[in-house]
Chain A
Amino acid sequence: MIRFDNVSKVYARGAKPALDDVSVEIERGDFVFLVGSSGSGKSTFLKLILREERPTTGDVYVAGRHLNRLSSWRVPQLRREIGAVFQDFRLLPNKTVYQNVAFALQVIGKKRHVINSAVPEILDLVGLGGKEKRLPHELSGGEQQRVAIARAFVNHPPILLCDEPTGNLDPGTSIGIMRLLDRINRTGTTVLMATHDDDIVDQMRKRVIELRGGEMVRDQDRGVYGMERV
């Protein structure tokens, strides 16, 4: 589903590479944690998948596309196959829960009747049934992140990227979010989650890819957060 072949990314000429010769393959339906300290290359890794950046060398394949050769007008098609969730939720403050989720479908030109059936369904899935008319500021952090997940997944993309989705949430709420992501993963969706949250990684026992200084130092099935604790 996602494959990196000897991928390096150098932002400024002569600078230390943000990613250094990374090769990795993530299969359809995998649940993968991407761990590492700040500046280890996690964000660059996600940006390369979303084709917000291009690799300096090496090849990136996502959802059957060779991203090096993907022309820019086909990028939107790629992004429709990738849901993205962020630490800061990125909801539209003046739109209701329902409108926030519907917006994602409107702007890719979905028909009204499709939207009318898809949005309530996904809101039920993330556990927000009955809160359609709330505005984001009337929701808790965990609920806001559920809205963001609903928006990312309403189009049922085969890949879900999560960038520190629990970074702003307390541990109890985080567990709820992780259950939701796990549920989504069980529908066959590939989930790639960049995180600092060692408790969650240790509990979930999923595949762990660790980056350090741009290099991939670990790729472990059913791993835990810190190597020293293995």
Chain B
Amino acid sequence: MRLRFILAEVLNGLRRNSTMALSVVLVTFVSLTFVGAAALFQLQLGELKASWYGKVEVTIGLCPDNARSTQCAAGPVTEDQEQQIRTLLEEGAVSNLVKKVYFETKEEAFENYKKLDIQGIADLLTADQMQPSFRVKLNDPEQFQVVSDAVAGLPGVDYVQDQREIFSQLFKLLNAATLVAAALAGVMLLAAGLLITTTIRLSALSRRRETTIMRMVGSSRTLIQAPFMLEGAVAATLGALFAVGTLYAAVRYVVGDWLKSSVSWVPYVSQADVMAVAPYLVGIAVALAAAASVMTLGKYTRA
């Protein structure tokens, strides 16, 4: 009886207040889409970092034959110096950070360069103009600075380069984009919260007659307030579900079908990630509605 009464009241309230309910649905929908998109973006960044950082290396450029930099004023790297650097990396102070060391001779560098060369510049070059280098893979790419400090300045070393630097600008940009999305989402969530508050308030006011009588004849406060709370919660949850649906479709069709076929060498977020984010979105919606109820109902349906 009571459950049926509450459900009937909820439906009744949503119908009577349909424009407000619809606006709650839409605002929570848009704001939670932003929240979800920001979350998925972060997950995507995590995927990228995991996959790219696994591939990046530290490059230790050794002094070539005709070096101009001050580090190489003493001339090209000697075999002794080369051996010293190798020993430091493989057995010295930083060997525990190092996973693997490759040595790339200038001939190999020239071959590799030719492979990448599109404009035909390689034809104008010789192997002697290339720079020999160590390619060092670290156990933890974040430990670059330690290795760099240990190697930089050694005789025969021209420069030490962290390939992560190439990505870090990109990641900074993407992070900033996420922050902007999150900030927008925050503002939208605030708007959604206020809108839910207004909706509940209007609903409570428009049914004041009923609630007054209910109080008078002794219905419990739960029964008086539950319909209004549920109204807000239902509308907000509906918005959250729309947001999840949108994100799911976006990941499936935009990322899954389109991006994956055009840029295939990057790992992407999947529908599973959307489903992992979904409970949080619904949770936020419900929490928002609950907070709005607590702020409103005490005043309008007091016992």
Chain A interfacial positions (CB closer than 8 Å to B): 50, 72-73, 75-82, 84, 90, 92-93, 103-104, 106-112, 151-152, 155
Asked if B209 and A76 sit within 8 Å, CB to CB, the answer is no
Closest A residue by C-beta to B223 = A107
Asked if A75 and B303 sit within 8 Å, CB to CB, the answer is yes
Kindly list the 10 A-B residue pairs having the minimum CB-CB distance in the complex, ordered from nearest: A79-B218, A80-B218, A107-B219, A76-B218, A104-B217, A107-B214, A76-B220, A109-B2, A84-B216, A108-B219
Q: Measured between C-beta atoms, what is the minimum distance from B7 to chain A in Å?
A: 13
A151 to B217, CA, bound (A): 9
Asked if B213 and A79 sit within 8 Å, CB to CB, the answer is no
Asked if B216 and A76 sit within 8 Å, CB to CB, the answer is no
A155 to B213, CA, bound (A): 14
Mask of B203-219 contacts with A, CB within 8 angstroms, 1/0: 00000011011111111
Pull 13 A–B residue pairs with CB atoms less than 8 Å apart, ordered by A: A72-B303, A73-B221, A75-B218, A78-B218, A82-B218, A84-B216, A103-B210, A106-B1, A106-B5, A107-B5, A107-B219, A109-B219, A155-B217
Asked if A77 and B2 sit within 8 Å, CB to CB, the answer is no
Give residues 1-52 of B contacting A (CB, 8 Å).
1-2, 5
A20 to B78, CA, bound (A): 107
Which residue of A50, A79, A109, A151 is within 8 Å of B1 (Cβ)? A109
Contact of A92 with B209 at beta-carbon distance under 8 Å, contacts A76-B303, A107-B5, A110-B1 already known: yes
Contact of A90 with B213 at beta-carbon distance under 8 Å, contacts A72-B303, A76-B303, A107-B5 already known: yes
| Chain B: interface size category | 10 to 19
Give every chain A residue within 8 A of B215 (Cβ-Cβ). 79
A72 to B298, CA, bound (A): 13
A23 to B150, CA, bound (A): 93
Give every chain A residue within 8 A of B5 (Cβ-Cβ). 106-107
Q: Measured between C-beta atoms, what is the minimum distance from B157 to chain A in Å?
A: 77
Asked if A108 and B213 sit within 8 Å, CB to CB, the answer is no
Q: Measured between C-beta atoms, what is the minimum distance from B246 to chain A in Å?
A: 38
Asked if B210 and A92 sit within 8 Å, CB to CB, the answer is yes
A80 to B223, CA, bound (A): 14
Closest A residue by C-beta to B209 = A92
A106 to B220, CA, bound (A): 12
Asked if B212 and A107 sit within 8 Å, CB to CB, the answer is no
Give every chain A residue within 8 A of B219 (Cβ-Cβ). 76, 107-109
13 more CB-based (< 8 A) A-B contacts, given A76-B218, A110-B1: A75-B218, A76-B303, A77-B218, A79-B216, A82-B218, A104-B217, A107-B5, A107-B213, A107-B217, A107-B223, A109-B1, A151-B213, A155-B217
A50 to B221, CA, bound (A): 15
Asked if A92 and B213 sit within 8 Å, CB to CB, the answer is yes
Give every chain B residue within 8 A of A111 (Cβ-Cβ). 1
Q: Measured between C-beta atoms, what is the minimum distance from B80 to chain A in Å?
A: 87
Which residue of B1, B210, B221, B223 is within 8 Å of A112 (Cβ)? B1
Q: Most A CB atoms within 10 A — which of B1, B5, B210, B212?
A: B1
A110 to B220, CA, bound (A): 13
